[in-house]
Amino acid sequence: MQNILEIKDLNVGFTISSQLYQVVYDINLSLKKGEVLGIVGESGCGKSVTSMSIINLLPPNGKIISGEILYNGKNLLSCDKKEIQSIRGNKIALIPQDPLTSLNPLYTIGNQIIEVIQLHQKKNKKEAEEIAVEMLEKVQIPDAASRLKDYPHQFSGGMRQRVLIAMALCCNPDILIADEPTTALDVTVQAQIMKLIKDILKKENKSMILITHDLGVIAELADQVAVLYSGKVAEQAQVKDLFNNPMHPYTKGLLNSIPTTKTEKLEPIEGQPPDIFDDIQGCNFNPRCKFVMDKCKTIDPPIKDINGHAVKCHLY
C-alpha cells in the first residue's frame, strides 16, 4: 500500500538568544492510508515538534533545518503560505490536546465549527450549519442542533474534546494529527474518546498520527509506533512487535514503568532526559542506560532494521 505521508530526514531547531539549537534529528517516518502511527516518548522528546512541522505550525523561533515531508508525493516544505493553509485543516487536520484552551470562550461552538467549514469549503452559512450539526451527531453529542448555540464553558471536558474531533472531521481530511487527545480527561472519559476515534477511523478509513506519552493509548489505537528519545527515533515497529519484543533499553524502560495489576515494584528510568543545551557525545541515551558500553559514549549508533523492527542501539 502506498504511503499517504512520508517524513524524510527531518531536522528541526529553535533559535534562542540568536543561537540555533537543534531539537529533532533525522526523523524518518511513514503513514499509509487507514493506518494509525503512534509517536511516543517523554515530554520534550520532539513528538509535537515533529507533528507541528507537518502543518507548518512551529512557533516563530522554530525552524525546519532540512528534510522533506511528502503528502501524496507533494513536498509540504516547499509549499507557499497559501498552499499550506489550503491543506492545513482541510486535508490534514489537528485534534489539539487541551479543549479548554483550543476553543474560543467568546464564540459559540456553532460559530467556531461553521467558520472552519466556510474557510475551507465553498458553503453558505446554512449549508455549513447543516454540516456542523452532522459532525456533532457523528461524535455523539446529543441534541446537536440546539448545542450549536452553546459556548465552550457549557460543555464538559469530554464533550469539548468531541467538539474538537468534530471540527477536525468537518472538512473530511485524509489525515488526522491527534496531539495527546485524552491527556486532560479522566479515565472513563478517555476510554469513551478512544473508542469514538477508533470507530471513526475504521468506518471512514482515515489515517492518523497519534502523539502521546501514554503507552496504553498506543496499544489501543496504533498500528505502528515510533519511540522518540531526545529528538531521535530510538525504535520503530508494528505495535504488537514493540510490546511483545521491545529492543531499545529506553523502550524497555518505558514499558517497565507502567503499573499493572501484576506489578510488584515499578522500575523507573534513572536520571533525566537531556535538554537542548546539553552536548552529549555518542548515543543520547547513554547517561541513563543500564547496558552502556564504551563505544556508546563516543559513537552515535545507526538505525538497524531487524526483520522490519528498527532500533538505534549498539546492542544489535
Contact 262, 256 (CB under 8 A): no
pLDDT band at 111 (very low <50, low <70, confident <90, very high): very high
pLDDT recorded at residue 97: 77
pLDDT reading at 188 higher than 90: no
Positions of E strands within the chain: 3-16, 19-32, 36-40, 62-71, 74-75, 92-95, 175-179, 207-212, 224-229, 232-238, 304-306, 309-311
CB–CB of 74/6 below 8 Å? no
pLDDT, position 265:
75
**CA distance linking residue 275 with residue 279, whole number of Å:** 9
- Write out the E strands in 41-123: 62-71, 74-75, 92-95
Average pLDDT score, the chain: 91
Q: What percent of the chain has pLDDT over 90?
A: 66
The residue whose grid cell reads 450549519 is 129
At the fourth CATH level, the homologous superfamily of domain 3-91+171-311 is: P-loop containing nucleotide triphosphate hydrolases (3.40.50.300)
Confidence grade of residue 109 (pLDDT, cut at 50, 70, 90): very high
Q: How far apart are CA 46 and CA 125, in angstroms?
A: 39
- Its pTM stands at 0.91
Structure-model confidence comparison of residues 206 and 181, the more confident one: 206
In the prediction, which pLDDT does 43 show? Answer: 85
Share of the chain above pLDDT 70, in %: 98
pLDDT tens-digit map of 243-276 = 999 999 999 999 888 777 666 677 788 888 888 8
Evaluate whether 32 touches 59 at the Cβ level (below 8 Å): no
What are the extents of the domains in the chain? 3-91+171-311
